Amino acid sequence: MLNYIGKRVLQLIPVLLGMSFIVFLIIRAIPGNPAQVILGQKATQESIAALEEKLGLNNPWYVQYFDYLKGLFTGDLGESLRTSQPISSEIWPYLAATIELAVFAMIIAIIVGVNAGIISAWFQNSWFDYVAMVIALIGVSMPIFWLGLIEQWVFSLNLDWLPTSGREDVRNPISPITNFYLIDTLIQGRFDQFGIVIKHLILPGVALATIPTAIIARMTRSSMLEVMRSDYVRTARAKGQKMFLVVYKHALKNALIPVLTVIGLQTGLLLGGAILTETIFSWPGIGRYIYEAIGYRDYTVIQSGILVVAFIFVMINLIVDLLYTVIDKRIKYS
């Protein structure tokens, strides 16, 4: 097992290097003079020269890349061109906001998706099965930015149940400790604020959860259908085991393996979906951080933001791979 983990981590090295190289290219591949493009048409020669110096654009590319890598290894993600702050310290609150939203969305997706899939398989061809699968099909085809806007229109503007945007009530601001507001408000015993944070999470969380919920539901259903036909499930039923236990205890355990793959993959994709959801709901997460950076042509932030998200994505996939062995003892890695 340890061997396998080591091997997987080693395999990651070329991928991570390649990723960093692609991200490194983002500034260098800008057509024309990157410094000129970043600063705009009105930039003076001096300011262009200064920016080129700052970004190291005058050096040969391999020196630039080596310097960039060296920086990454020491946790230096560069400096924001707009705020002149180190990105590594600036990025954390945004990242925390995204993680909180993504985890919230994933919890919704897993609870709803897995259960809907199980019930659909359990009562195959029932009206529940049909309705759930039609909804899932629409969910997969749903542009989440559209869904987000519809949610705002219905639940915020018309019904006034939930806030349209943001993470907190601006008149009752939260003092951040970890920047995970759910945790921060609990630590501080501010249960009123905890409720407000939850309210803010619901609409973007549901929008972000839609596609994973649909995919998890479909996957769970087909996986459960297969397992339910197997001999050991028949045996369990034959010996008079309650159906609920057969489904949730015996069948689910084996049906979960392919579902887990999907969950892992979807968790990574959530990070991509977050950029849209965060834009709609003005959620101050990393997607919005990158999106705003594009508007300001803050290329160092674009670079590092994308790198950080991709890094998390790769790590999630690694963790999912390793989790297989824990769930399915039959899988032995050499």
Partner 1 sequence: MSELTQKVSGQPIVVDQAVGPWKEAWRSFKKSKSALAGTFIVVFFVLLAIVGPLFVPQAINEQNFSMRLQAPSSQFWFGTDDFGRDIFSRIVHGARLSLTVGFFAVIFSAVIGSFLGIISGYYGKWIDTIISRFFDIMLAFPSILLAIAVVSILGPSLQNALIAIAIINVPNFGRLIRSKVLSVKQEEYVMAARAIGMSDARILWRHILPNSMIPVIVQGTLSIATAIIEAAALGFLGLGAEAPQPEWGKMLADSRQYLMTAPWTLIFPGLAIMLTVLGFNLMGDGLRDALDPKMKS
Our CB check for partner 1 shows the closer of 228 and 259 to be 259
Our CB check for partner 1 shows the closer of 294 and 331 to be 294
Cβ distance 218 to 133 under 8 Å? yes
At 108, the amino acid letter reads I
Our CB check for partner 1 shows the closer of 146 and 333 to be 146
> Which 8-state DSSP code applies to residue 297?
T
Quickly list H helices, the chain: 2-28, 34-39, 45-55, 61-73, 87-122, 127-140, 144-151, 181-187, 191-228, 231-238, 243-245, 252-280, 286-295, 299-327
Our CB check for partner 1 shows the closer of 237 and 297 to be 297
Distance CA 20, CA 11 (A): 15
In which region does residue 174 sit, left (phi positive, over 0), alpha (psi from -120 to 50) or beta (all else)? Answer: beta
CB of 306 to partner 1, least distance (A): 5
Our CB check for partner 1 shows the closer of 193 and 223 to be 223
CB of 207 to partner 1, least distance (A): 12
Distance CA 267, CA 283 (A): 18
Our CB check for partner 1 shows the closer of 92 and 311 to be 311
Our CB check for partner 1 shows the closer of 198 and 265 to be 265
Which residues are 211's β-sheet partners? none
Distance CA 329, CA 29 (A): 47
CB of 222 to partner 1, least distance (A): 8
Our CB check for partner 1 shows the closer of 64 and 241 to be 64
The contacts of residue 196 (CB under 8 Å, 6+ apart) are 168, 169, 172
| Span between the terminal Cα atoms of the chain, in Å | 7
CB of 309 to partner 1, least distance (A): 6
CB of 214 to partner 1, least distance (A): 11
Q: Which residues bind partner 1 (CB under 8 A)?
A: 14-15, 18-19, 22-23, 26, 29-31, 137-138, 140-143, 145-146, 149-150, 152-153, 157, 219, 222, 258, 268-269, 271-273, 275-276, 279-280, 290-291, 294, 299, 302, 306, 309-310, 313-314
The contacts of residue 317 (CB under 8 Å, 6+ apart) are 264, 265, 268
Distance CA 94, CA 290 (A): 10
